[in-house]
Amino acid sequence: MTTKRMFSWINIAVAALIAAFVYLPPANSRSARAADPSTIPTGLMCEIMARPELALITDPQPEFSWVVNSIVPGDRQTAYQVLVASTAERIERDQGDLWDSEKVESSQSSGVEYTGRPLSSETTYLWKVRVWGKDGQVGSYSQAQTFRTGQLSDEHATACYPLTNTTVQPLRVLLKARGHYFLDFGRAAFGTVELTLTSPTAGNEVEVHLGEVPAGPDSIERNPGGTRRYRVMKLKLDEGTHTYRVAITPDRRNTGPNAVKMPKAVGEVMPFRYCEIVNCPSRLDASKIRQIAMHYPFDETTSCFDSSNEVLNDVWDLCKYSIKATSFCGVYIDGDRERIPYEADAYINQLCHYGVDREYTMARYTHEYLMTRPTWPTEWILHSVLMAWADYLYTGDRESIAHYYDDLKAKTLLALAREDGLISTQTGLVTDDVLKSIHFKGQLRDIVDWPHGNILGLKGGYGETDDFEFKPINTVVNAFHYRALVVMSRMARDLGKSADAQRFAQAAARVEKSFNDKLLNRDKGIYIDGEGSAHSALHANMFPLAFGLVPSEYVASVAEFIKSRGMVCSVYGSQYLLEALYEAGEGDYALELMTDRSTDRSWPHMIYDVGTTITLEAWDNKYKPNQDWNHAWGAAPANIIPRCLMGIQPLEPGFAKVRIKPQVGSLTSGSFDHPSVRGTIHADFRSVPGESFVLNVAIPANVEAIVYLPRLGGTDSEVAVDGKMVQGTLAGRFVVFDRVGSGSHRFERHR
């Protein structure tokens, strides 16, 4: 493990001690006299924004969140008090002249709604919070956070940050010929270049070439094909020394009526790593040219992963950077070809973003954008329900699911159900009213995976559906329908809509029974592609397994079939293939797929063979000739590594309870810092495969965990927990410890 990434459980404990004392109130502060300084909330958010002062809040009743930053082991919040003030002086004196919630008996630390005096538009406010711990002692108030209102409105809207940029100097500057320079910025980014040049006269014209694809070690490929980008702009110089920012020529397709537009204040951008300057009148070095990389605000420090496998580390770095780089227009879009959001693309992007940064607004904004601008695939409509659930699960904030509740109900596509519960878009049930309810104009079509083998001039049998046989009752579509019903029931329950919760739960149970009665080939132990089909594709099996539809007695046979097919799916499909494998306890094989250097269907192929620095839209150009080189739906490991390999997933909204279930395969060590709305969750392990497993975790206060340790072939359930032998609960291949409290814990299991 490299020194720069190493973060042991001891470091975490020390960090917690330091964090608890980063703010001490003034000696004359009322809170200093009365409060316990060991519990000072940190990580404040307003409208799920860590930096609300950078944006404008339009919600008259914004929601507040915070981290219960206690050093007391097992501590939890039992009450809170929020103050909102109109001036810094009042908040400093602990006076909430707009709102003093007084003491509220509750463990809620996310999505707490403002209920004070009416706020005014275009005004700056401050807020802070203090909490009571499990012992009933009150802690100190947090530092105050500032937020600004825009034009307040009762119309629902998600506040978003303005775009920002990073200035990047070239890693290499090469003089190719007189006045002709080649520059490599190390990684591709969406943006432009800024350069400082000296010209003896006005009117000299410089050519600026930008591109993603190299043509050898010191030039840009000027005909990269597909949607790989190259462009040349001409820059007229003034006399003397001046700094110029190159204006990017717009592309007609991705700046058209349906595309998400760049803000006028930012200007047009393009993805590029390489630059050539031709007819340069003055000497050029790294200090005189910069890549201006546009992106949504991104905190590099909130997540960290390292393991004993350097290939996996490189895959993580590629995928993490891809999430930052592709955030350039503030919405999750489909790369640079169209700049249009698609639900499935956005869902993968959303999960990845949650894994790499403590940032939730871009995901919510994109999800809500798509609620009324859906795209054509049947499964993409169903993805909207999954996106809403993920938003709620990771933020603990109900505002969005409450506002869009009726739309989400429609997007379960329950209106298309036959008597047995299975749905189809080809049985005459897709009426104008159904389309209106999901805000769609057009024809719904099942997609399964993309691209299909009969489009884009694909030759040699290429296509990403594993010869899936499309039938009116489609196995993949109904797997998504089942999952949408399950999470819709959970959301209805939490919103207090008990009748709906029961109805959706009953519908899910009906689908589960019919699905397994009619689509499971029990003789072979695998699923067919659809009703009336004799074919079993990878997709017909990986989606049911990923979504928990497979009866326990068939999990092994379905998993073995999936393993026999390999990666015969797209980069999109790989999300669900990997989820399915981890669901079946096949972490070893999932790790092999993520680190496989022997095939062109892998992330190592993208890194070492293709040379991209942002994930591709497809595994290789031959699988999608018009693909782009900057598509976040190819970045699945950015969420699979934290959620499945390290096994860190929220079980209750807002991370009130978290599961830590590492499935690390052949790795001998690994470490992850996972951002959450309640604070950083840390896990690191050391493993001798089949012999021993040591897991250190650091759980924030006000969070409860369920921790899984591999059984290692043993029959007993005894594990050393914090130096004491403790009996866990045997569950399949794991020993389980529930109700693990906050703080640092060490688990040791030996065969």
Residue 34 has pLDDT above 80, yes or no: no
Give yes or no: residues 636 and 673 share one domain.
Answer: no
The verdict on residue 187 lying in a domain is: yes
Q: What is the dihedral of CA 398, 128, 704, 494, to 10 degrees?
A: -20
Which CATH number goes with the domain that contains 136?
A: 2.60.40.10
Give yes or no: residues 175 and 313 share one domain.
Answer: no
* Boundary (domain end) residue, out of 93, 124, 148: 148
The verdict on residue 528 lying in a domain is: yes
pLDDT for position 224: 97
Pairing outcome for strands 704-710 and 657-660: parallel
Residue 26 has pLDDT above 50, yes or no: no
The verdict on residue 366 lying in a domain is: yes
pLDDT (mean) for 256-263:
94
pLDDT tens-digit readout, 340-391: 999 999 999 999 999 999 999 999 999 999 999 999 999 999 999 999 999 9
* Boundary (domain end) residue, out of 611, 645, 679: 645
Which CATH number goes with the domain that contains 274?
A: 2.60.120.260
What is the tally of structural domains in the chain?
4
Give yes or no: residues 274 and 319 share one domain.
Answer: no
* Boundary (domain end) residue, out of 274, 295, 316: 295
Q: How far is 498 from 719, CA to CA, in rounded Å?
A: 40
Give yes or no: residues 680 and 534 share one domain.
Answer: no
Residue 485 has pLDDT above 50, yes or no: yes
Give yes or no: residues 533 and 589 share one domain.
Answer: yes
Q: How far is 533 from 341, CA to CA, in rounded Å?
A: 33
Give yes or no: residues 281 and 318 share one domain.
Answer: no
The verdict on residue 158 lying in a domain is: no
pLDDT tens-digit readout, 147-202: 999 999 999 999 999 999 999 999 999 999 999 999 999 999 999 999 999 999 99
pLDDT for position 8: 37
Give yes or no: residues 177 and 42 share one domain.
Answer: no
pLDDT for position 714: 78
Give yes or no: residues 415 and 553 share one domain.
Answer: yes
Q: Which amino acid is at 373?
A: R
pLDDT tens-digit readout, 232-249: 999 999 999 999 999 999
* Domain around 743: 654-750
Poorest-confidence range of 31-45, 111-125, 420-434, 574-588? 31-45
pLDDT for position 518: 98
Under DSSP, is residue 725 helix (H, G, I), strand (E, B) or coil?
Answer: strand
pLDDT for position 713: 84
Which CATH number goes with the domain that contains 721?
A: 2.60.420.10
Which CATH number goes with the domain that contains 383?
A: 1.50.10.10
Q: How far is 434 from 429, CA to CA, in rounded Å?
A: 8
The verdict on residue 290 lying in a domain is: yes
The verdict on residue 422 lying in a domain is: yes
The verdict on residue 337 lying in a domain is: yes
Give yes or no: residues 227 and 351 share one domain.
Answer: no
Give yes or no: residues 640 and 658 share one domain.
Answer: no
Q: What are residue 290's DSSP bridge partners?
A: 194
Residue 280 has pLDDT above 70, yes or no: yes
pLDDT for position 19: 35
The verdict on residue 155 lying in a domain is: no
Q: How far is 382 from 484, CA to CA, in rounded Å?
A: 6
Give yes or no: residues 510 and 394 share one domain.
Answer: yes
Alpha helices in 265-377 (DSSP H): 310-325, 343-356, 361-371
Give yes or no: residues 27 and 176 share one domain.
Answer: no
